[in-house]
Amino acid sequence: MSGSGKTTVAGLLAERLGWPHRDADEFHSAGNRAKMAAGQPLDDADRAPWLAAIGAWLDEQAAAHRPAVVTCSALKRSYRDRLLRGRPGARLLYLHGTRELVRARLEARHGHFFPAALLDSQFADLQEPQPDEHPVVVEVDQPPGAVVEAALSLLDLAAPSAPSAPSAPPEEAPMSEQTHRSAGPTGDQWELRRGGQRAVVVELGGALRQYEAGGVPLLDGFAADEPVTSGRGQLLVPWPNRVGGGRYRFDGADLQLPLSEPEHRNAIHGLLRWVPWRLLARSGEALRVGTTLHPQPGYPFLLEVYAEYRLTDDGLEVLVSAVNAGTARAPYGVGQHPYLTVGTGLVDTALLTVPARLRLTTDEDGLPTGEEPVEGTEYDFRSARPIGAQVLDTAFTGLERDEAGRAVVRLAHPSGRRGTDVWLGEGTRYVQVYTGDTLGQPGRRRRGVAVEAMSCPADAFRTGTGLTVLEPGAGHVLRWGLRPWGAADGAAIR
């Protein structure tokens, strides 16, 4: 609607793509402009020729094979139907903001024919896009550049560029009136669907709670009314695994992190697991969440962090990116902690494949002491074999990759007829495999196998092994995903 920032966003979007751009205001008649300037809302009859003119321009661009961007306050479903029906290449991008935020923007705008007094009439007419319209919804309480990045990525118009620092701090805005607030322990639950696949991401920590295909659970996750335990599905930022003693030295400063694993006097799994992440953009099969890691004791650096989840025909893709928004260099690592299941009760009979030449040896506190080849040892899973009674809490490296640059860890049902591949893409140099033998809840031990994509191993803040150092304005990307295969109970998974 007017005041959502659509003209600014559309202009930036068109500039990034090199496409022509027209604003809907250009298609209004002089009479419509005069009516709105006088504080009178338009009715359907007023808008009919306006929509027809926009549609005609879209058809001109399509006939010339020119992709283009147009803005339009298509508040009603009938308006959008007129613009989208018969134009299969058209995509709908909905810029969503609260009434309070939009009003504040309209009141701050000067010299425009649409007055803030007409805002109530817009909200009265608004019929939010429904799933069958396949909208991409982007929240506008963030800088225009961030809105464009989210739109580009979720519309799949272009691969997102390397993350860059935001042009301005996000505006503070009330929570959306249209967004349900959950009273559960992990906050809002955001569901994605595509074909027979379903994934659920939660507000707390931006964690992946559930993923299933063909009705078959592929993760040993947690219910909507349960708290997160044992790192299930959590994002590990700005380091995965452990920092010994929580103490490290960086750029001449001695820094002390909180000891979040007190039994071993370690700092474990980063600083963002227990903070709310904001929903930034969503569609029926993809979403983007983000949060800010503010400077704090032990980590005096400023990061903007994003996670994007997308269902495709091939499975679930995850992208985790971070940008150093501060003025000093920052040490950085990242990982994610899903537990896989193939429905065997315990993991002992499941078949595991890990395409790694090396494993990291560790001390009694789980900190690396060196590397050794897996060949000829019980840690050699380069060919599929049952896990058996073997206890794994092991980091692997020296990953063998395919032509696409991906290493694939596979967990398969004992029959070998179905399972899940965890592919490790850009930014993943290590993988931690954990059979859950030391979990605090005995009933959950060895029920699933954690396969953790990591950019660096444990203790990287102290040793520097695999550590990424982010210069001011620089970013890092980690890509991984889940690919189900085979069939279960007669239902095709892939």
- Predicted local distance difference test score (pLDDT) of residue 492: 44
- Predicted local distance difference test score (pLDDT) of residue 158: 66
Tell me which residue of 318, 308, 340, 349 sits closest to 221, measured CA to CA: 340
Tell me which residue of 172, 298, 322 sits closest to 236, measured CA to CA: 322
- Residue 288 dihedral angles phi and psi, to the nearest 5°: -130, 125
Question: Would you say 42 and 29 are in contact if contact means Cβ atoms under 8 Å apart?
Answer: no
d(CA 248, CA 243) in angstroms, rounded, equals 8
- Predicted local distance difference test score (pLDDT) of residue 124: 84
Question: Would you say 136 and 281 are in contact if contact means Cβ atoms under 8 Å apart?
Answer: yes
Tell me which residue of 198, 152, 425, 455 sits closest to 316, measured CA to CA: 198
Q: Quick one: DSSP state of residue 359?
A: E
State the virtual CA torsion across 174, 176, 182, 183 in degrees, nearest 10: 30
- Predicted local distance difference test score (pLDDT) of residue 448: 96
In DSSP terms, 288 is beta-bridged to 281, 308
Question: Would you say 394 and 360 are in contact if contact means Cβ atoms under 8 Å apart?
Answer: yes
Per-residue pLDDT of the chain (494 residues; tens, 9 = 90+): 777 888 899 999 999 999 999 998 899 888 888 887 787 878 889 889 999 999 999 999 999 999 999 998 888 999 999 999 999 989 999 999 888 877 776 666 555 445 556 677 778 888 999 999 999 999 988 889 999 999 999 998 864 444 544 443 333 333 333 344 456 899 999 999 999 999 999 999 999 999 999 999 999 999 999 999 999 999 999 999 999 999 999 999 999 999 999 999 999 999 999 999 999 999 999 999 999 999 999 999 999 999 999 999 999 999 999 999 999 999 999 999 999 999 999 999 999 999 999 999 999 999 999 999 999 999 999 999 999 999 999 999 999 999 999 999 999 999 999 999 999 999 999 999 999 999 988 989 999 999 999 999 999 999 999 999 999 999 999 999 999 999 654 444 54
d(CA 247, CA 207) in angstroms, rounded, equals 27
Query: pTM of the predicted model, to two decimals?
Result: 0.86
- Predicted local distance difference test score (pLDDT) of residue 116: 53
- Predicted local distance difference test score (pLDDT) of residue 167: 41
- Predicted local distance difference test score (pLDDT) of residue 117: 61
- Predicted local distance difference test score (pLDDT) of residue 174: 33
User: Residue 402: CB partners within 8 Å, gap ≥ 6?
Assistant: 408
- Which residue type is seen at 299? Y
- Predicted local distance difference test score (pLDDT) of residue 114: 52
